[in-house]
């Protein structure tokens, strides 16, 4: 498979987004079905595997963890913070966007535990909590890098101004946003900004 650069990693040009194994699209896959797909993807040259705290409210990270443990040195592992399931007073788990430093740190600790790994390669801010300056959120994520819990930082679904502000606070390795036949918004300046700053665009 053709290769692409994301920060220090060379990865297959196609990555595997793991969300739909346990979140959003119909009945979740079994562990056996999922493992078969993960194995097939790796066999065809896919080396970037992407999950998040939100997907299945942690279930997706737990699902891929045994496989990740077996293949850890062969893959680049991405996960996300800042949007997760929170149990309300009525006992219902709801999606909450929370970019406060303490919350992002807790998201990271929870993800490391669920994934059964000491470090996440690429850690995205899943959504920018606009109640919190992006510099504060990214600043705390940068401290996670300094502590060796995360290797590189990414952002998801932010505009050029927020991307520049974040990158000034701590180097941003990747921006993950929609870019498809249906959505060409990235062509309005985002792709050029990523090129200017040396940030990989993950569609």
What single DSSP character describes residue 198? T
DSSP 129-172: -TTS-HHHHHHHHHHHHHTTSEEEEEEES--HHHHHHHHHHS-E
Rounded to whole angstroms, the Cα distance separating 83 from 96 reads: 6
> Which residues does 101 contact at the CB level (< 8 Å), separation at least 6?
136, 137, 139, 140
Rounded to whole angstroms, the Cα distance separating 57 from 87 reads: 10
Nearest CA-CA partner of 29 in 87, 82, 104, 38 = 38
Question: Is 55 tagged catalytic?
Answer: yes
Give the three-state DSSP class for 174: strand
Instruction: Say which of 55, 123, 179, 201 is annotated catalytic.
Output: 55
Catalytic residues: 55
């Amino acid at each position: 498979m053709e290769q692409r650069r994301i920060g220090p990693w060379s990865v297959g040009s196609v990555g595997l987004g793991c969300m739909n194994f346990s979140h959003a699209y119909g009945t979740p896959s079994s562990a056996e079905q999922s493992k078969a797909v993960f194995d097939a993807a790796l066999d065809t040259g896919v080396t970037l595997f992407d999950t998040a705290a939100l997907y299945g409210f942690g279930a997706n990270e737990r699902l891929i963890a045994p496989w990740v443990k077996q293949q850890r040195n062969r893959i680049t592992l991405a996960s996300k913070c800042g949007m997760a399931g929170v149990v309300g007073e009525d006992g219902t788990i709801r999606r909450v966007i929370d970019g406060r430093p303490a919350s992002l740190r807790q998201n990271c600790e929870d993800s490391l535990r669920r994934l059964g790994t000491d470090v996440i390669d690429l850690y995205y801010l899943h959504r920018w909590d606009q109640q919190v300056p992006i510099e504060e959120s990214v600043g705390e994520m940068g401290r996670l890098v300094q502590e060796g819990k995360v290797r590189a930082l990414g952002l998801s679904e932010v505009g050029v101004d927020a991307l520049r502000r974040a990158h000034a606070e701590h180097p941003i390795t990747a921006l993950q946003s929609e870019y498809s036949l249906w959505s060409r918004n990235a062509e309005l300046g985002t792709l050029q900004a990523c090129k200017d700053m040396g940030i990989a665009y993950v569609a």
